[in-house]
Amino acid sequence: MTEARVDGRVQRGNHTRALIVARAVDIASVEGLGSLSLGRLSAELNISKSGVFGLFGSKEELQIATIDAATRIYVDTVVTPVLDLSPGLAKVWRLCLSWLDYSRGRVFPGGCFFYAVAAEYDAQPGRVRDVIVALSARWDRLVRRVIEEARTGGEIAGEVETAQLAFELIAFMETANSLSVLNDDIAVYDRARAAIRTILRCSATDPALVPE
Protein backbone atom coordinates (compact mmCIF):
# COMPACT_ATOMS: atom_id res chain seq x y z
CA MET A 1 0.00 0.00 0.00
CA THR A 2 2.84 2.38 0.86
CA GLU A 3 4.54 1.65 -2.46
CA ALA A 4 1.27 2.35 -4.28
CA ARG A 5 1.00 5.75 -2.58
CA VAL A 6 4.61 6.56 -3.46
CA ASP A 7 4.07 5.50 -7.09
CA GLY A 8 0.95 7.65 -7.23
CA ARG A 9 2.83 10.68 -5.99
CA VAL A 10 5.60 10.08 -8.50
CA GLN A 11 3.09 9.81 -11.35
CA ARG A 12 1.33 13.00 -10.27
CA GLY A 13 4.66 14.76 -9.96
CA ASN A 14 5.72 13.65 -13.43
CA HIS A 15 2.37 14.75 -14.86
CA THR A 16 2.62 18.15 -13.19
CA ARG A 17 6.21 18.58 -14.37
CA ALA A 18 5.17 17.76 -17.94
CA LEU A 19 2.36 20.35 -17.80
CA ILE A 20 4.70 23.02 -16.50
CA VAL A 21 7.42 22.32 -19.05
CA ALA A 22 4.96 22.23 -21.96
CA ARG A 23 3.68 25.67 -21.03
CA ALA A 24 7.21 26.93 -20.46
CA VAL A 25 8.24 25.81 -23.96
CA ASP A 26 5.40 27.79 -25.54
CA ILE A 27 6.17 30.90 -23.50
CA ALA A 28 9.92 30.74 -24.14
CA SER A 29 9.52 30.31 -27.92
CA VAL A 30 7.67 33.65 -28.06
CA GLU A 31 8.98 35.67 -25.10
CA GLY A 32 12.32 34.03 -24.37
CA LEU A 33 13.69 31.88 -21.58
CA GLY A 34 14.25 34.97 -19.48
CA SER A 35 10.51 35.50 -19.25
CA LEU A 36 10.02 32.22 -17.40
CA SER A 37 9.42 32.30 -13.67
CA LEU A 38 8.24 29.79 -11.14
CA GLY A 39 5.64 32.26 -9.93
CA ARG A 40 4.20 32.92 -13.36
CA LEU A 41 3.83 29.24 -14.18
CA SER A 42 2.35 28.60 -10.78
CA ALA A 43 -0.32 31.25 -11.39
CA GLU A 44 -1.06 30.29 -15.00
CA LEU A 45 -1.43 26.58 -14.25
CA ASN A 46 -3.03 27.00 -10.82
CA ILE A 47 -0.27 25.06 -9.09
CA SER A 48 1.21 26.09 -5.76
CA LYS A 49 4.48 27.98 -6.09
CA SER A 50 6.05 25.65 -3.55
CA GLY A 51 4.98 22.72 -5.74
CA VAL A 52 6.65 24.25 -8.80
CA PHE A 53 9.76 25.06 -6.78
CA GLY A 54 9.85 21.51 -5.46
CA LEU A 55 9.94 20.17 -9.02
CA PHE A 56 12.60 22.51 -10.39
CA GLY A 57 14.32 24.29 -7.50
CA SER A 58 15.41 27.36 -9.46
CA LYS A 59 14.69 29.40 -12.55
CA GLU A 60 17.82 28.06 -14.22
CA GLU A 61 16.72 24.46 -13.67
CA LEU A 62 13.35 25.36 -15.18
CA GLN A 63 15.10 26.88 -18.19
CA ILE A 64 17.27 23.80 -18.69
CA ALA A 65 14.22 21.52 -18.40
CA THR A 66 12.44 23.69 -20.96
CA ILE A 67 15.33 23.40 -23.41
CA ASP A 68 15.42 19.62 -22.88
CA ALA A 69 11.71 19.34 -23.63
CA ALA A 70 12.02 21.51 -26.74
CA THR A 71 14.95 19.36 -27.90
CA ARG A 72 12.85 16.20 -27.71
CA ILE A 73 10.09 17.84 -29.76
CA TYR A 74 12.64 19.11 -32.29
CA VAL A 75 14.30 15.74 -32.73
CA ASP A 76 10.97 13.94 -33.10
CA THR A 77 9.72 16.49 -35.64
CA VAL A 78 12.78 17.37 -37.71
CA VAL A 79 15.41 14.67 -37.33
CA THR A 80 13.80 11.29 -36.66
CA PRO A 81 11.67 11.18 -39.84
CA VAL A 82 14.82 11.62 -41.95
CA LEU A 83 17.43 9.51 -40.16
CA ASP A 84 16.58 6.18 -41.78
CA LEU A 85 16.61 7.52 -45.34
CA SER A 86 19.34 6.25 -47.64
CA PRO A 87 22.45 8.47 -47.66
CA GLY A 88 22.65 10.92 -50.53
CA LEU A 89 21.56 14.32 -51.77
CA ALA A 90 17.92 13.34 -51.47
CA LYS A 91 18.48 12.89 -47.72
CA VAL A 92 20.18 16.28 -47.42
CA TRP A 93 17.24 17.82 -49.27
CA ARG A 94 14.67 16.06 -47.08
CA LEU A 95 16.44 17.19 -43.89
CA CYS A 96 16.28 20.81 -45.04
CA LEU A 97 12.62 20.48 -45.99
CA SER A 98 11.88 18.85 -42.65
CA TRP A 99 13.36 21.88 -40.88
CA LEU A 100 11.47 24.35 -43.05
CA ASP A 101 8.20 22.47 -42.45
CA TYR A 102 8.87 22.51 -38.71
CA SER A 103 9.37 26.26 -38.69
CA ARG A 104 6.54 27.01 -41.11
CA GLY A 105 4.12 24.75 -39.21
CA ARG A 106 4.84 26.64 -35.95
CA VAL A 107 5.54 23.53 -33.94
CA PHE A 108 6.60 26.19 -31.44
CA PRO A 109 4.40 29.32 -31.45
CA GLY A 110 7.36 31.63 -31.91
CA GLY A 111 8.91 29.78 -34.84
CA CYS A 112 12.13 27.88 -34.24
CA PHE A 113 12.59 27.62 -30.48
CA PHE A 114 16.36 27.30 -30.75
CA TYR A 115 16.81 30.26 -33.09
CA ALA A 116 14.89 32.39 -30.60
CA VAL A 117 16.76 31.32 -27.46
CA ALA A 118 20.15 31.41 -29.22
CA ALA A 119 19.56 35.07 -30.10
CA GLU A 120 18.53 35.71 -26.50
CA TYR A 121 21.57 34.07 -24.87
CA ASP A 122 24.33 34.39 -27.47
CA ALA A 123 26.16 37.02 -25.40
CA GLN A 124 25.20 35.80 -21.91
CA PRO A 125 27.80 33.39 -20.49
CA GLY A 126 26.52 30.67 -18.22
CA ARG A 127 25.02 27.23 -18.06
CA VAL A 128 21.98 28.02 -20.21
CA ARG A 129 24.15 29.44 -22.98
CA ASP A 130 26.46 26.42 -22.77
CA VAL A 131 23.52 24.07 -23.34
CA ILE A 132 22.31 26.12 -26.32
CA VAL A 133 25.83 26.20 -27.81
CA ALA A 134 26.12 22.42 -27.49
CA LEU A 135 22.78 21.88 -29.20
CA SER A 136 23.69 24.25 -32.02
CA ALA A 137 26.92 22.33 -32.57
CA ARG A 138 25.00 19.05 -32.54
CA TRP A 139 22.68 20.28 -35.31
CA ASP A 140 25.62 21.54 -37.36
CA ARG A 141 27.34 18.15 -37.03
CA LEU A 142 24.23 16.36 -38.22
CA VAL A 143 23.90 18.56 -41.31
CA ARG A 144 27.60 18.08 -42.05
CA ARG A 145 27.26 14.33 -41.60
CA VAL A 146 24.46 13.90 -44.12
CA ILE A 147 26.38 16.09 -46.56
CA GLU A 148 29.53 14.02 -46.07
CA GLU A 149 27.54 10.82 -46.58
CA ALA A 150 26.34 12.20 -49.91
CA ARG A 151 29.90 13.10 -50.87
CA THR A 152 31.14 9.61 -49.96
CA GLY A 153 28.42 8.19 -52.18
CA GLY A 154 29.68 10.26 -55.10
CA GLU A 155 26.68 12.61 -55.23
CA ILE A 156 28.45 15.81 -54.11
CA ALA A 157 31.41 17.18 -56.05
CA GLY A 158 34.79 16.73 -54.42
CA GLU A 159 35.64 20.44 -54.45
CA VAL A 160 32.61 21.33 -52.35
CA GLU A 161 33.57 22.07 -48.73
CA THR A 162 31.26 20.27 -46.33
CA ALA A 163 31.43 22.91 -43.58
CA GLN A 164 30.70 25.73 -46.01
CA LEU A 165 27.73 23.96 -47.59
CA ALA A 166 26.30 23.16 -44.15
CA PHE A 167 26.72 26.80 -43.12
CA GLU A 168 24.88 28.04 -46.20
CA LEU A 169 22.01 25.57 -45.86
CA ILE A 170 21.50 26.45 -42.20
CA ALA A 171 21.68 30.16 -43.04
CA PHE A 172 18.88 29.83 -45.61
CA MET A 173 16.71 27.93 -43.13
CA GLU A 174 17.27 30.33 -40.26
CA THR A 175 16.74 33.40 -42.44
CA ALA A 176 13.39 32.05 -43.59
CA ASN A 177 12.38 31.44 -39.98
CA SER A 178 13.47 34.89 -38.85
CA LEU A 179 11.77 36.81 -41.66
CA SER A 180 8.61 34.75 -41.45
CA VAL A 181 8.22 35.44 -37.74
CA LEU A 182 9.17 39.11 -38.06
CA ASN A 183 6.96 39.90 -41.06
CA ASP A 184 4.27 37.23 -40.64
CA ASP A 185 5.14 36.06 -44.15
CA ILE A 186 5.16 32.38 -45.12
CA ALA A 187 6.27 33.10 -48.71
CA VAL A 188 9.88 33.27 -47.49
CA TYR A 189 9.83 29.50 -46.97
CA ASP A 190 9.31 29.00 -50.70
CA ARG A 191 12.24 31.32 -51.35
CA ALA A 192 14.41 29.36 -48.92
CA ARG A 193 13.35 26.10 -50.55
CA ALA A 194 14.31 27.45 -53.99
CA ALA A 195 17.66 28.72 -52.71
CA ILE A 196 18.48 25.40 -51.05
CA ARG A 197 17.56 23.47 -54.20
CA THR A 198 19.80 25.74 -56.28
CA ILE A 199 22.84 25.39 -54.03
CA LEU A 200 22.43 21.62 -53.76
CA ARG A 201 22.20 21.28 -57.53
CA CYS A 202 25.30 23.42 -57.91
CA SER A 203 27.08 21.13 -55.45
CA ALA A 204 25.89 17.89 -57.03
CA THR A 205 27.79 15.66 -59.42
CA ASP A 206 24.44 15.36 -61.21
CA PRO A 207 21.82 18.08 -60.59
CA ALA A 208 19.06 15.55 -61.27
CA LEU A 209 19.95 13.88 -57.97
CA VAL A 210 18.17 16.73 -56.15
CA PRO A 211 14.42 16.02 -56.16
CA GLU A 212 11.92 18.56 -57.45
Angle formed at CA 136 by CA 135 and CA 137, multiple of 5 degrees? 90
- pLDDT, mean of residues 155-167: 97
**Total residue count of the chain as it appears in this document:** 212
Q: In this predicted structure, what is the pLDDT of residue 212?
A: 77
- Could you give the domains of the chain? 59-209 (1.10.357.10)
Q: 1-5, 49-53, 150-154, 183-187 — which is least confidently predicted?
A: 1-5
Q: What is the pLDDT of residues 186-200, one digit of tens each?
A: 999 999 999 999 999
Alpha-carbon torsion 87, 90, 94, 95, what sign? positive
pLDDT of 107: 97
Q: pTM of the prediction? A: 0.90
Q: Is the pLDDT of residue 4 over 80?
A: no
Residue 150's closest CA among 139, 173, 136, 166? 166
- Tell me how far apart the alpha carbons of residues 30 and 164 are, in angstroms, rounded to a whole number: 30
CA distance 7 to 190: 50
Which of 198, 173, 207, 180 is CA-nearest to residue 96? Answer: 173
